[in-house]
C-alpha cells in the first residue's frame, strides 16, 4: 500500500532557488512557476492574506495544516486540527482536538491566531498517525501530556524559536516573489521542508516556522556549529574575455550550485521517503468518490532503515500527483527508534510474537524495547505488570 | 609610489573611518542592533583619534554625518591633542566652529549638555560654546525650544545672556511665569501654561506638550500649529495631518532630496501612482538643486540600485537604504542625463519601488556594464545572497574584461556593518565608500579613488588638507 514518494522530484513547477544563510542556518527557497490552482490556506489560518480565497466562488479548497491551533466559528475555545485537512471554504469546523487551557504550555500556544500545538503532542500524534496502528487515544493522550507539561526527560523536540539563530535568520531572509516554500538546513543538516500552494500562503506562515518543531539533535547543532558557508560553485577563469562570457559563467555557476544542492543536500528527503495511504476522512471537498477528489492528503513515512536519516511529514497532492503542500520534519534518533518499532508492529499486524520474531528478539525483549522507547502505554497494563514482575524475578 | 605597506594600511583605515562616519548614525540597522553599531563606531573613533590625531579633525570637512561630527567635536574638545602646532590648532578650531555652525541646533545643544555633564571645562570648550551661542540668531526661541541645552551650556561656560533670557532660564517656575517679558515669545510661553489658545505662538515641539496638557484634540492642534512647524516637521506630519483631515499637505518640491525620497517611500504605491506628475517633478527639481553646478557634467553613468528586502532598513531608519538608492537614481539622472538605472529586482519604475525580494547583484551589474558606461555606481548594503559569486564576477571582470579601467566602478554603501567593523564590500576589485546623504555623491566618488590602492597616504593627506581648506574658505 506504500509507494515511492514522487513529490520533490522537483521540476513539475517546483524548483529550489539560491540559498541564503545567516549564522549556521541555511534557508533554501522553493519556487513555483505558477501557484497551484484552487487550493489555498484556510482564511482562518492566514488571517492576513491579501485576497480572501473564500470570496472566490470557483470551488477553491481550503487547507488547514496539521496541529494548527485555531478558534473555529461556534467554538468558544481554540482547538488543534488533527491531521492536515482539506475543506470547502466556510465549512463547519473539521475534526479537531480541544486543548486543556489550564496548562501553561497550551495557553502560550494559543495566544495569537494560528499556532502549532505543544510539540510533543504534535510529534507523537504524527508518529501514531503514520504507523496507522491501533488508534492511540489521541484525546486522552493529549490531555494527560498537556496536564503534565514537559515532564518527560526524553523530550525530543524543540520549538523553532528555541533554535539558536533561526529567528534572526528568518527575519533577515529575503523572500522571493514566487516563493512558496522553504528548506531549512541547520549546520548543513536538512531539518525540515515546507511547501504551500500559493506565495501569499507562504508569506503568511513564514514567521510561523518559529513555532514549528525540530528534533533534539538539531537543537544541539544550532548551539554548536559555526557559520554556514555560502553555496557556490567557483567560476572557471579560463577563456573569460567578454561580458557575454562572464554572464554565461555566472549562469552556469548558479545552476551548478542549485543542482549540487538538490542532489546532495535534499537527497535524504527526496530519496528514502514513502507515502502511505490517505485515510477515510481526508480528501477533497464534496466528492465522495476518491478518484473525483481534486486533492489527497498523504503521510510521509520514512523507510526507517538502520543508520538512515528519517523524515516524517504530510503531503497534499493533486490529481496528477503534483505536490501542493508539504511539511516534513527530521526525526531525532529516539523518534526514529520509536518509529521503527511502530512500523515493525504494524507489519506484524500488532502481534507481539510475530514482531519479536522479525526483530530477532524474544517477546520480553520486545516489551523491553517498547518500554525504553516510551511506548509502553500501547500495551495493556496487565501485560506490562506481568513483564515487570518477571524482570524483577530474574534480576539477582 | 613611495608609500610603505604601513602607509597603505593607514590609508585604508582612514577611508574605513570616513565611510563609517559618513553612513552610520549609531542606530539600529537591518542586520545589526543599535548597541553593536555604537560599539563599533566608538572603537573606530578611538582608533583613528589615537593613531592619526593630525587627520582626525580633518574628517569634519568630509561630509561625515551630524552624529559623527558631534562625536568628533566631542573627542577633540574633551581630549585635546598635546603638541600640535599653532597653525594646526587654529585649523582644528576653525573646523569645529564651522561644523557646529552648520549642525542642527538640537544636536549642538545635546553635545554641549554632554560636555557639561562630563565636566569638560577647558578653555577651548568654553570658547567654543560662547562663540556658538553668541552667533545664534534668536536666543529667545532657543530658550523656549532648547531650554535644558541652553541652560546647561550657559551655566557651564559662563556665557553672558540677555537679561530676559537669563531670568527665563534660571529663575524658579513661579517667578519665571510672573516676570513681565518684553519678548512676545517668552510671554507666550508663560501664558500657554494657562490658556490653550496661546500655545500656537510657540514652536511646534513646545506647543505639542502644552496641547497634551490642555487636552487639545489632535486635528485642531495640527491645524493651528501648521504655520509654526518647520518644513521638516510638516513633511513628517503629512500622514497624521491627512488622517485628521487637516488642510493641504506639505510642499514636497522644497524638501531636500533624501528627505523627499523618505517621504515618497512612506506613501502607499497607489497614491504614488496617482500623484506621479507632482512627485516626479519634485524629485527631479530637488535632484537638480542637490547637483548644483555639477549637473550634467558626469560622463555616461550606469547605476545599480538595491531594492531587495534588506533595503527596508530598521524601524528607526525606515526605508533608509532604499531612500538612499532612490535619491542616487535621481541625482545621477541630474549629473549625467544619459544615465541608466538598474534595480536589483528588475523593477523599472523608480517611483513605485518597494523593498522586496532577494539580492542578486551580479546579473544587474552585468546588465549595467552592457550599456557601455564610463562609470558604474552600485548602491547596496553589500549583503548579496551569494557573496563569493559576486566577488569573483567583479574580480574577473576587472582582470580579463576591462583591465584598462575604461569603466570606473564604485560601491556606495548606506549601511555600516557593525559585525565586520566597516562597510561590507562587494569585491576587492571595487572600492566601497559609505553613503548617507546623496548630495555628497560627487565628493564621495572623488574619495573612492583612494580605495583602489593606486594612490597612497601622502596623496590622501594632501586631499584631506585641500578639502579642509576649501571647506573653511567656502562662503
pLDDT tens digit sequence for A260-272: 988 888 877 776 5
- Nearest chain A residue (CA) to B371: A243
With beta carbons under 8 A apart, name residues in chain B contacting A246.
366, 393, 396-397, 401
Burial environment of residue B330 by CB neighbours within 10 A (0 to 12, 13 to 18, 19 or more) = buried
Q: Is A352 on the interface with B (CB under 8 A)?
A: no
Q: With an 8 Å Cβ cutoff, is A237 touching chain B?
A: yes
- Which of A20, A29, A250 is facing B363, going by the closest CB pair? A250
Question: Does B13 or A149 have the greater pLDDT score?
Answer: B13
Which residues partner with A186 through β-bridges? A25, A189
**Among the ranges given (A45-54, B141-150, B374-383), the one the predictor scored with the smallest mean pLDDT:** A45-54
Q: What is the pTM of this model?
A: 0.85
Q: CA torsion angle for B454, B460, B462, B465 (degrees, to 10)?
A: 160
Whole-number average pLDDT of chain A: 71
Decide if A26 is inside a domain. yes
pLDDT for the residue numbered A247: 95
The pLDDT of residue B126 is 95
Put simply, the answer to whether B357 touches A174 (Cβ < 8 Å) is yes
Inside any domain, residue A243? no
| pLDDT of the residue at A366 | 86
Q: Is pLDDT of B80 > 50? A: yes
Judgement on whether residues A316 and A355 belong to the same structural domain of the protein: no
Closest Cα in chain A, distance from residue B315 (Å): 13
The answer on A375 and A307 residing in a single domain is no
Q: Please determine, for residue A135, whether its predicted confidence score (pLDDT) is greater than 90.
A: no
Whether A237 maps to a domain, the answer reads no
B178 burial type by CB count under 10 A (0-12 exposed, 13-18 middle, 19+ buried): exposed
Check whether residue A148 and residue A219 sit in a common domain: yes
Distance CA A274, CA B285 (A): 64
A316 and A371 co-located in one domain:
no
Contact criterion met (CB < 8 Å) for B385 and A234: no
Q: What confidence tier does A72 reach under pLDDT thresholds 50, 70, 90?
A: low
Residues of A with Cβ-Cβ distance to B357 under 8 angstroms: 174-177
Q: What does CATH list as the number for B258-473?
A: 3.40.50
Residue A30's pLDDT is: 92
CA torsion, ordered B353, B355, B358, B360, to nearest 10 deg: 50
pLDDT at B307: 94
Examine the domain organization and report whether A220 and A354 are in the same domain: no
Distance CA B428, CA B421 (A): 16
Percent of chain A with pLDDT over 70: 58
Domain boundaries, position A357? 348-394
pLDDT tens string A285-309: 444 555 566 787 776 767 666 667 7
If asked whether residues A32 and A135 sit together in one domain, one would say yes
Number of domains in chain A: 2
Asked, for residue A342, whether it belongs to a domain, the answer is no
Going by pLDDT thresholds of 50, 70 and 90, the confidence category of residue B453 is low
Interface test with B, best of A173, A234, A243, A251 (most B CBs within 10 A): A243
The pLDDT of residue A334 is 75
Instruction: Tell me the per-residue pLDDT of B318-350, one tens digit each, with 9 for 90 and over.
Output: 999 999 999 999 999 999 999 999 999 999 999
pLDDT at A97 over 70: no
Picking from A305, A334, A363, the residue at the C-terminal end of a domain is A334
Per-residue confidence (pLDDT) for residue A298, from 0 to 100: 74
Provide the residue ranges of all domains of chain B, joining segments of one domain with +. 5-252, 258-473
ipTM: 0.83
* Minimum distance, in Å, between the CA of residue A240 and any CA atom of chain B: 6
**Is residue A33 domain-shared with residue A175, that is, in the same domain?**
yes
Q: What 3-state DSSP class applies to B375?
A: strand
Nearest CA in chain A to B365: A247
Domain boundary among A312, A334, A356: A334
| Domain-embedded: residue A343 | no
**Within its chain, how far is the Cα of B268 from the centroid?**
25
Q: What percentage of chain B carries pLDDT values higher than 90? A: 65
What angle do helix axes B123-134 and B147-157 make, rounded to 10 degrees? 130
Does residue A168 sit in the same domain as residue A263?
yes
Identify from A22, A30, A174, A245 which residue to disrupt to test chain B contact, counting B C-beta atoms within 10 A and taking the largest count: A174
Tell if the CB–CB gap between B388 and A243 is shorter than 8 Å: no
- CB of A174 within 8 Å of a chain B CB? The answer is yes
Q: Is A125 found in the same domain as A257?
A: yes
Among B360, B366, B392, beta carbon nearest to A235: B392
- For residues A258 and A388, membership in a common domain is answered with no
What is the band of A140 on the pLDDT scale with cuts at 50, 70, 90?
A: very low
Q: Is residue A17 within 8 angstroms of chain B, CB to CB? A: yes
CB contact A172 to B (< 8 Å): yes
Q: What number is the average pLDDT over the span B272-277?
A: 93
Residues A364 and A217 in one domain: no
Centre a 10 Å sphere on the Cβ of residue B105 and count the other Cβ atoms it contains: 16
> A88 and A110 share a domain?
yes
B309 contacts on A by Cβ (under 8 Å): 173-175
- Whether residue A270 lies within 8 A of chain B, CB to CB, comes out as no
Would you state the torsion angle of the CA atoms of residues A140, A142, A147, A152, taken in this order, to the nearest 10 degrees?
120
Amino acid at each position: 500500500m506504500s509507494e515511492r514518494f514522487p513529490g520533490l522530484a522537483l521540476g513539475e513547477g517546483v524548483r529550489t532557488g539560491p540559498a541564503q544563510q545567516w549564522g549556521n542556518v541555511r534557508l533554501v527557497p522553493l519556487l513555483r512557476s505558477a501557484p497551484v490552482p484552487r487550493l489555498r490556506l484556510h482564511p482562518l489560518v492566514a488571517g492576513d492574506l491579501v485576497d480572501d480565497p473564500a470570496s472566490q466562488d470557483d470551488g477553491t479548497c481550503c487547507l488547514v495544516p496539521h496541529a494548527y491551533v485555531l478558534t473555529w466559528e461556534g467554538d468558544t475555545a481554540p482547538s488543534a486540527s488533527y491531521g492536515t485537512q482539506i475543506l470547502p471554504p466556510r465549512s463547519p469546523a473539521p475534526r479537531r482536538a480541544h486543548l486543556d487551557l489550564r496548562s501553561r504550555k497550551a495557553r502560550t500556544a494559543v495566544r495569537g491566531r494560528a499556532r502549532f500545538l505543544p510539540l510533543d503532542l504534535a510529534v507523537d500524534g504524527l508518529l501514531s498517525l503514520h504507523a496507522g496502528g491501533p488508534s492511540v487515544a489521541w484525546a486522552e493522550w493529549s490531555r494527560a501530556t498537556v496536564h503534565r507539561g514537559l515532564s518527560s526527560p526524553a523530550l525530543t523536540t524543540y520549538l523553532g524559536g528555541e533554535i539558536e539563530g533561526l529567528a534572526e535568520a528568518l527575519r533577515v531572509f529575503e523572500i522571493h516573489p514566487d516563493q512558496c516554500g522553504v528548506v531549512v538546513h541547520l549546520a548543513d543538516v536538512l531539518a525540515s521542508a515546507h511547501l504551500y500552494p500559493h506565495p501569499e500562503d507562504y508569506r503568511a506562515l513564514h514567521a510561523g516556522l518559529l513555532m514549528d518543531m525540530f528534533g533534539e539533535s538539531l537543537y544541539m547543532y544550532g548551539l554548536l556549529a559555526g557559520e554556514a558557508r555560502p553555496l557556490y560553485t567557483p567560476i572557471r577563469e579560463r577563456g573569460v574575455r567578454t561580458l557575454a562570457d562572464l554572464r554565461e559563467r555566472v549562469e552556469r555557476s548558479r545552476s551548478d550550485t542549485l543542482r549540487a544542492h538538490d542532489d546532495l543536500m535534499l537527497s535524504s528527503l527526496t530519496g528514502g521517503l514513502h507515502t502511505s495511504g490517505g485515510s477515510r476522512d481526508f480528501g477533497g471537498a464534496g466528492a465522495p468518490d476518491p478518484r473525483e477528489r481534486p486533492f489527497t492528503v498523504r503521510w510521509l513515512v520514512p523507510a526507517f532503515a538502520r543508520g538512515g536519516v528519517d523524515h516524517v511529514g504530510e503531503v497534499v497532492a493533486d490529481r496528477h500527483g503534483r505536490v501542493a503542500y508539504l511539511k516534513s520534519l527530521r526525526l531525532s534518533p529516539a523518534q526514529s527508534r520509536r518509529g521503527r518499532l511502530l512500523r515493525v508492529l504494524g507489519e506484524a499486524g500488532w502481534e507481539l510474537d510475530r514482531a519479536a520474531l522479525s526483530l530477532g528478539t524474544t517477546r520480553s525483549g520486545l516489551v523491553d524495547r517498547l518500554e525504553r522507547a516510551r511506548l509502553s502505554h500501547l500495551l495493556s497494563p496487565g501485560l506490562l505488570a506481568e513483564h515487570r514482575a518477571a524482570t524483577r524475578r530474574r534480576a539477582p | 609610489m613611495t608609500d610603505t605597506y604601513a602607509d597603505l594600511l593607514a590609508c585604508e583605515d582612514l577611508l574605513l573611518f570616513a565611510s563609517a562616519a559618513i553612513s552610520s548614525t549609531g542606530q539600529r540597522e537591518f542586520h545589526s542592533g543599535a548597541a553593536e553599531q555604537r560599539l563599533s563606531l566608538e572603537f573606530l573613533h578611538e582608533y583613528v583619534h589615537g593613531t592619526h590625531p593630525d587627520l582626525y579633525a580633518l574628517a569634519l570637512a568630509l561630509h561625515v554625518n551630524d552624529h559623527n561630527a558631534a562625536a568628533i567635536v566631542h573627542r577633540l574638545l574633551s581630549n585635546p591633542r598635546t603638541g600640535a602646532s599653532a597653525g594646526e590648532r587654529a585649523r582644528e578650531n576653525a573646523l569645529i566652529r564651522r561644523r557646529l555652525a552648520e549642525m542642527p541646533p538640537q544636536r549642538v545643544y545635546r553635545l554641549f549638555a554632554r560636555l557639561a555633564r562630563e565636566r569638560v571645562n577647558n578653555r577651548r570648550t568654553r570658547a567654543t560654546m560662547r562663540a556658538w551661542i553668541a552667533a545664534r540668531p534668536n536666543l529667545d526661541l532657543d530658550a523656549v525650544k532648547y531650554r535644558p541645552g541652553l541652560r546647561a551650556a550657559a551655566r557651564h561656560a559662563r556665557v553672558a545672556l540677555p537679561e530676559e533670557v537669563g531670568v527665563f532660564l534660571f529663575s524658579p517656575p513661579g517667578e519665571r511665569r510672573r516676570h513681565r517679558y518684553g519678548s512676545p515669545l517668552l510671554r507666550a510661553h508663560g501664558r500657554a501654561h494657562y490658556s490653550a489658545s496661546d500655545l500656537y505662538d510657540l514652536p511646534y515641539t513646545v506647543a505639542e506638550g502644552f496641547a497634551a496638557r490642555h487636552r487639545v484634540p489632535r486635528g485642531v492642534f495640527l491645524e493651528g500649529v501648521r504655520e509654526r512647524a518647520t518644513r521638516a516637521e510638516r513633511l513628517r506630519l503629512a500622514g497624521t495631518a491627512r488622517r485628521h483631515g487637516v488642510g493641504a499637505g506639505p510642499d514636497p518640491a522644497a524638501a531636500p532630496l533624501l528627505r523627499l525620497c523618505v517621504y515618497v517611500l512612506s506613501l502607499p504605491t497607489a497614491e504614488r501612482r496617482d500623484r506621479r506628475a507632482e512627485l516626479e517633478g519634485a524629485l527631479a527639481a530637488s535632484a537638480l538643486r542637490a547637483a548644483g553646478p555639477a549637473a550634467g557634467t558626469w560622463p555616461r553613468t550606469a547605476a545599480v540600485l538595491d531594492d531587495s528586502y534588506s533595503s527596508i532598513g530598521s524601524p528607526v531608519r525606515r526605508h533608509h537604504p532604499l531612500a538612499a538608492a532612490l535619491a542616487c537614481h535621481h541625482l545621477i539622472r541630474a549629473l549625467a542625463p544619459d544615465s541608466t538605472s538598474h534595480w536589483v529586482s528588475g523593477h523599472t519604475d523608480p517611483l513605485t519601488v518597494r523593498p522586496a525580494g532577494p539580492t542578486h547583484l551580479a546579473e544587474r551589474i552585468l546588465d549595467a556594464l552592457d550599456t557601455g558606461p564610463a562609470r558604474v555606481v552600485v548602491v547596496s548594503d553589500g549583503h548579496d545572497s551569494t557573496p563569493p559569486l559576486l566577488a569573483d564576477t567583479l574580480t574577473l571582470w576587472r582582470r580579463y574584461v576591462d583591465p584598462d579601467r575604461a569603466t570606473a566602478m564604485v560601491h556606495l554603501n548606506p549601511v555600516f556593518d557593525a559585525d565586520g567593523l566597516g562597510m561590507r564590500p562587494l569585491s576587492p576589485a571595487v572600492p566601497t565608500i559609505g553613503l548617507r546623504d546623496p548630495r555628497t555623491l560627487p565628493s564621495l566618488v572623488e574619495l573612492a579613488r583612494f580605495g583602489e590602492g593606486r594612490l597612497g597616504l601622502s596623496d590622501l593627506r594632501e586631499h584631506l588638507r585641500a578639502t579642509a581648506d576649501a571647506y573653511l574658505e567656502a562662503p
